[in-house]
Structures are given as structure tokens and as C-alpha cells.
Structure 1
Amino acid sequence: MTHLHSTSGTPAAGTALGRTPLDELHTCVTSHLDSTARTWFDRALAEATDRPGLHGPISVWELRLAEAGRRCGPEHADAVRVLILRAARADADTLTRVYRQGTGAERRAVLYALPHLVPGPEAVPIVEDALRTNDTRLVAAALGPYAARHLGPHNWRHAVLKCLFTGVPIDEVADLPRRARADAELARMLGDYADERTAAGRPVPEDLYRVLALTEPGGEPGGGAGSEPGAGPTTDMSTAPAPSPHPGTPSREDGKES
């Protein structure tokens, strides 16, 4: 069964979900759902807002997160889940629980929701966990505006390197120009990685040169890919274990849900 009026997807999709105002996102979603899906979506939002009780060990609205792909279509599921989390006023503890218990798709939605719902650094462990996985969609979702504001320099540098290693487009890294500017340590790491690739007879990713250019002191702090002027890390996680640039722990499979 289709849930679309057209073949186009939700205008705000993927990592743009972390950067799109939620009222605008709601308008985008509802304009693309058919009447059946929209009715289900409105009911799910009402359940999340009212918190009518529990269904087994979890809230009813949490069950709707699992149903979102089937009810609204996979192209809208991420946005729908983010909006349900907003309606439920999910705090850092709730988001952590949903992330720990959820499928890959539900975890991705939690990561997209972080910049909208958690003002402080309390949810940084979720970001760090996502960066340790092999799921490139989780890695990309983890590097949105929330990570740009709160992920410490050490882990952030290794996350950028992991993007290059796993093929995650560097455009997915929010606020990249500002955070990379004049970062001599990041430049050193990029140079070492390029040397390793060259010595092994393997091509150097084009994105590496883009990031390397941004590390120059004269790099553009407020423009270019993934930038969000004004954001800045508020925690220094330099003593925490860094997410490996090489494949990490296997991620949970989404199953048939998306």
C-alpha cells in the first residue's frame, strides 16, 4: 500500500532532519502522507503528547516508533519518528533507553532528534556508541548538529577519519568548516591516512583533500559543507576512547522495519 501523493520523498530527509525546524518538518511530512497514514500519524502524536499509559514494559507511543515505517512508508519513517519523540517530550534518559532498546532505524531517529530535544551534553554517549558501529547510516546520523556542539575534539577527529574510511560523505558532518579550521592535529591525521593509502597503492578519497583544505588557518569557518555557524563543542571528551576509523562493532539489524 502506498502512502504518498507523489513519488518524491519528504523534503527534509536523512541528516537534514537534525537541521530542519520541527514545525517545518511536521508540515513537510503531513503534506506527503495519504489520508490513512496521516490519520495514524495524528493519532501517534496524540498518544505521545498525552502519554496514556503503558503497553507492557514500554509506553504506547514507543510502539508507534516501531510501526512508523510500515504505516507511513520508509521514506518518511525517520521524520515521523523524530516528531513522535518531540511530541513525547523525550529527554536524554528516555532517548538513551529508546536508543539502547531500538532497531537501527529507531536508533537513527534518536540521533536525528538529539539537536532538537537535548540542549546539553548528556546524550554524548549515544553519539559515541553510534560512531563505534559499522552502520554508515548511524555514523552519518551521529555527526549532525548535536555532535558539532558537544562531541570533544579527540573523538570528533576520529569520527571524521571514520567517514573517510567507510565512505560516509563528508557533507554529512555538521559544522565541519568551523571545527576543522586551523586544526593541526586533524591535518596530521589526514596526512598520515593519505600516506598509508598511497603506500598501499590505494586511492586517497577526494573528501580527504576537502577536509585537509579546511584545516588551514585561513579556511572558511562559516561556509561550505555541513556548516552551522555559532555551534561549538561544550565538552572535551579527549580522554574518552575514540571511535575507531576502522570498522567497529556490528550494528543491530533493522529487520524488515525501516
Structure 2
Amino acid sequence: MLTARAPRISTLAGLREALTRRAGPEAADWLAAATREIGAQPAALHRHFPEAGRRCGRGALEPAEETDRADQADAPAEADGLPAGLAWTVDDAARALLLAAVPLRGAELAARASAVYHEGDAAERRGVLRALSLLDVGEHALPLVRDALRTDDARLLAAALGPYAARNLDPHTWRHAVLKCLHRSIPLAAVDGVVRRRDGELRRMACDYAVELTDAGRPVPSDLWFLTGHLPRS
């Protein structure tokens, strides 16, 4: 069974609304001042970006919008959603809004995002990856997604496979990223567009992996059965 995705943040307004509900007035004031400064002086991003967790908090972000129902129309839902640490956090939201305040677009904005990504720790990198679907960067930020997919950090993998990757990542890389999630026990609920983008080749790869697990006497996870298109044997 494919666990229901945590609702996605699809607009900056929705992200700002969610953050307002979770962060206090001091955090809101800091973020407003920081975004104004970044809008006037983009280099200020490098100073404010690492501060977001301390200034705004690091807890889970309450979703502002409903899940894209069309994307999981044939995916049974469970109430628990994503495990802790794989969904948006308050500092993710703050960092996304800081990046969105940079008055650049395309390759220039992607370069700025890449700079704070490579300068930052895991939480800062996750914030960049979360922000990508909300930034006007075209395909210029795909190197960041590919970098995150080479790690074994479940939080980075989940953040990398958001709406930006679902729209822009090539089929070969995306399929292997999905299989890596299964290898790392990351629920497919963390992968945006998995219902829409699964295809015959991914089904074949999933079947091969299911056979490998079965031959080794290991259980086949329910998400893997979902990808194969078969029901588990009773």
C-alpha cells in the first residue's frame, strides 16, 4: 500500500501562510526584515540562510494546502502520512522564502541557490531542495538534485524528490532514485509524482527487486508491490 503523501506546498503564499501559523511574531519579524534586505542586497542571503533554524524553529510545518488528489487517485491513503523528518519543516519554509526573495531568475538564481547549498549543512541543503519548485530556475538547478540523490541521507533524498524533480528529472535518473528510496526504506509517499510517472520500465525494475528480495527470504515492502502493479501473495 502506498502511504498518502504529506500535502505539498505549491505556492509562496501557501508557504508563508503555513509558516505564519507555526512561527511566532519574533520569527515573522526577523523573516520580513531578512527578505527585505535580500531583495535589496542578494549577498545578504549567505548571512541569513544559516540563521533560519535558530530564528524560526525547526519543527514540523503544518501544511497549507491539500494534497494533489489527481496524482494519487489510485493510491490508497493511510492516516499517518510521512514519517517525521521527511516532510516540510519550519526552517525549510523560512529558507525557501529567503531564496524566493532573491531578485534573480534562471541560471543566476540557480547559481545563488547552489552557493548556499554547497556552503550549508544538511538542514540548509534540504531547505534549498525544498525551495526549488517555488523558484524560477528552469532546469538549471538539476545538478543540486543529482548531488542529493548520491547521498544516503533520507531527508535529503526525500527533499530532492519533490515537485521540481517530478517535473524536470530525466526518466532514467528518476527511476533509479525511486528504487534507491526503496533500498533505503524511504516511503514512496515522499516521492512527488510517483503515480503519474511510474512506467513499464520502473515496473520491470521493481519486479526484479521483488524477486531478489523473495529469493533472499526477505519481505517485500508494500510500496514495492505498488510499483510492480501486483498484489502480494497470501
Partner residue, 1:27: 17
| Alpha-carbon contact 1:127-1:147 (below 8 Å) kept | yes
Give the TM-score taking structure 1 as reference length: 0.70
Partner residue, 2:93: 79
Q: C-alpha displacement at 1:151, in angstroms? A: 0.7
Partner residue, 2:213: 197
Q: C-alpha displacement at 1:15, in angstroms? A: 7.2
Letter in 1 for 2:34: A
**Sequence identity, in percent?**
47
Partner residue, 2:87: none
Q: C-alpha displacement at 1:27, in angstroms? A: 2.0
Q: C-alpha displacement at 1:20, in angstroms? A: 2.6
Matches within 5 A, 1:122-137: 122-137=140-155
| Alpha-carbon contact 2:129-2:160 (below 8 Å) kept | yes
| Alpha-carbon contact 2:49-2:116 (below 8 Å) kept | no
Q: Secondary structure of 1:154's match? A: helix
Partner residue, 1:254: none
Distance change in 2, residues 1:15/1:159 (3 Å): farther
| Alpha-carbon contact 2:52-2:95 (below 8 Å) kept | yes
| Alpha-carbon contact 1:89-1:117 (below 8 Å) kept | no
Partner residue, 2:72: none
**Alpha-carbon distance in 2 for matches of 1:43, 1:125:** 31
Partner residue, 2:82: none
Of 41, 45, 49, the match for 1:51: 41
Which consecutive aligned stretches of 4+ in structure 1 deviate over 3 angstroms post-superposition?
Answer: 14-17
**Alpha-carbon distance in 2 for matches of 1:29, 1:184:** 39
Q: Does 1:61 align with 2:45?
A: yes
Partner residue, 2:102: 88
Matches within 5 A, 1:191-230: 191-213=207-229
Partner residue, 1:164: 182
Q: Secondary structure of 1:121's match? A: coil
| Alpha-carbon contact 1:15-1:112 (below 8 Å) kept | no
**Alpha-carbon distance in 1 for matches of 2:212, 2:124:** 36
Distance change in 2, residues 1:185/1:166 (3 Å): same
Letter in 1 for 2:22: H
Q: C-alpha displacement at 1:99, in angstroms? A: 1.2
Q: CA-atom RMSD, angstroms?
A: 1.9
Give the TM-score taking structure 2 as reference length: 0.76
Matches within 5 A, 1:227-246: none
Q: How many residues align?
A: 192
Partner residue, 2:32: 42
Q: Secondary structure of 2:186's match? A: coil
Letter in 2 for 1:92: A
| Alpha-carbon contact 1:82-1:110 (below 8 Å) kept | yes
Q: C-alpha displacement at 1:150, in angstroms? A: 1.0
**Alpha-carbon distance in 2 for matches of 1:192, 1:33:** 46
Structure 2: tracts of 5 or more residues without a match: 60-89
